[in-house]
Amino acid sequence: MDFRTIIAKRREGIAHSEEELRAIANGAASGEIPDYQLSAWLMAAYLKPLTDAETAMFTLAMAKSGEHVDLTGVPKPWVDKHSTGGVGDKTTLVLAPLLAACGLSVIKMSGRGLGITGGTIDKLTCIPGFSSNLTPADMVAQAKKIGIAVAGQSHYLAPADKALYALRDVTETVGSLPLIVSSILSKKIAGGAETVVLDVKCGTGSFNPTIDHAEKLAAALTRVGQQAGLKVFAAITDMNQPLGSAVGNALEVQEAIRVLSLPESELSSNSKRFRELCRYFGALALRVSGMAGSGSEALARIEDTLQSGRALEKARQWIAAQGGTVDLTDDSWLPRSTLQEIYTTHTSGCVAKVDAKIIGEIALEIGAGRKSKADEIDLAVGLELHVKVGDFVTVGQPLATIHAQSSEQLEYAKEWLLMAIQVQNAPVLPLPIVVRPA
Ligand code: URA
């Protein structure tokens, strides 16, 4: 097939056949189509978006461009959870053991962080001995034994997405809705998923700045997922302020362990908000997989699994199974920065803004994230936020603790915290954590 014809069809907005979409996916995965032609097609697809039917066919073609994880023998129900990415998003660390402790099988491939968006695999790197380097066969074997396995994205799954994503990144075509949808769903299908609960983030710290954009993405993921044979349940959640109190790898692991271990009354108000999100997605997963008959039954089961310590016990089993050699009752093994400084408010009033984007950029700049894929990250640095939107504060009250390695980093963080956290006279009504339920 002459790839110039495929580019020309897209440029004119003429629908692709299934065979053409398969040729694009397979040619991207094998490297047979040169980058300059794929880039031209991507820009054409950005300007003349794929229809839902084309997107579903392209999703399946990308999913079939590499290996497929065969979950045969893993006890059902299987549920995968995916987040479109945000600042302080450590949900998988709590939700995966929580769901496995409720009897679901959780097999999850996660990514490393890039830009202001953190990645689960980086957070897990904080645990001494823990390995995310499992083959699909290792993951299946582990899930059969203990109901949970979390590993880095396999290079063998949906290789077409890997090739196309790298080109989208450098050709300003990441933002195309059908390309985002096929990228996310192809990896889920190749990973063996049947049911996916999706956390579509909306706000300054996500790639959906407006609710309108998030609604469109959530609806497209659900529609196209259905056409591609997946059950997708997408909720929109707030990412105008970071999720929970911790932003930074070791700090986020510490917060996740606290949420799994402590009664709600002993958590900070930000961690309570994070716990609420975990409860919501936990209950949603139980409901959509038929493990609970109603929302209230599902929530009660999630709450009981957290409070009884069964979720924490599952986290212990999971970490040990993947080589982690730590005691979860004592977090002294977590990497710690050399400097900590409390940042306080100069004004009294109501917290109007804790800008997730600026907080994410501070964490990135002091080393918690990577600007390009090859960057090393510092697991110990980051921020702990002590307030959230709608809280009332008085002069001198701590707003955040900065965890840094140098006085320059502390100064940088303080300068930008002034912009990130705004306090005003008038009361502010915060957005709920779940902005639009699935
Ligand atoms: N996450 C993905 O996996 N792909 C995208 O295109 C965007 C977010």
Q: How far apart are CA 232 and CA 165, in angstroms?
A: 22
Coil, strand or helix at 266: helix
- The predicted model gives 412-431 an average pLDDT of 97
DSSP reduced 3-state for 244? coil
In which element (H, E) is residue 200 found? Answer: strand 195-202
Confidence of residue 97 (pLDDT cuts 50, 70, 90): very high
Strands, DSSP E only, in 69-132? 80-83, 106-110
Instruction: Examine the residue annotation and report whether 370 is marked as an active-site residue of this protein.
Output: no
**Spatial distance between the Cα atoms of 92 and 98, rounded to a whole number of angstroms:** 9
Return all residues near 42 (Cβ < 8 A) that are at least 6 apart: 164, 167, 168, 171, 173, 176, 179
Can you give the pLDDT at residue 371?
A: 85
Number of H-type helices and E-type strands within the chain: 16, 13
Which atom, in ligand 1's list, is nearest to the CA of 111? 3
User: What's the gap in Å between 246 CA and the centre of ligand 1?
Assistant: 24
The string of pLDDT tens digits covering residues 354-395 is 999 999 999 999 999 988 878 899 999 999 999 999 999 999
Distance CA 205, CA 239 (A): 5
- 117, 164, 170, 184, best to mutate for ligand 1 pocket (most atoms within 8 Å of CB): 184
Can you give the pLDDT at residue 207?
87
Over residues 402-426, mean pLDDT: 98
- For residues 70 and 407, give the distance between their C-alpha atoms in angstroms, rounded to a whole number: 51
The answer to whether residue 324 scores a pLDDT higher than 90 is: yes
Asked if 168 is an active-site residue, the reply is yes
180 C-beta closer than 6 A to ligand 1: yes
Distance CA 382, CA 126 (A): 13
**Gap from CA of 180 to ligand 1 centroid (Å):** 5
- Whether residue 82 lies in the annotated active site: yes
- Residue 184 Cβ inside 6 Å of ligand 1? The answer reads yes
Task: Provide the mean pLDDT of the chain.
Answer: 96
- How far are the Cα atoms of 67, 189, 235 from residue 12, in angstroms, in the given order? 33, 30, 34
Contacts of 322 (CB under 8 A, 6+ apart): 130, 131, 132, 134, 142, 149, 150
Ligand 1 atom index nearest CA of 183: 4
Task: Name the residue at shortest CA distance from atom 6 of ligand 1.
Answer: 180
How many of the other CB atoms lie within 10 Å of CB of 145?
Answer: 11
Set out the domains of the chain in order of their start, with CATH numbers: 3-48 (1.20.970.10), 78-321 (3.40.1030.10), 339-424 (3.90.1170.30)
Active-site residue, from 16, 81, 108, 168: 168
What CA–CA distance (Å, rounded) separates 155 from 158? 8
How far apart, in whole angstroms, are the C-alpha atoms of residue 157 and residue 230? 17
Per-residue b or e along 6-26, where b marks 16 or more CB atoms closer than 10 Å to that residue's CB:
bbebbeeeeebeeebbbbbbb
What residues does 107 pair with on adjacent strands? 149
Of 22, 90, 187, 279, which residue is the catalytic one? 187
Our answer on whether the CB atom of 6 is closer than 6 Å to any ligand 1 atom is no
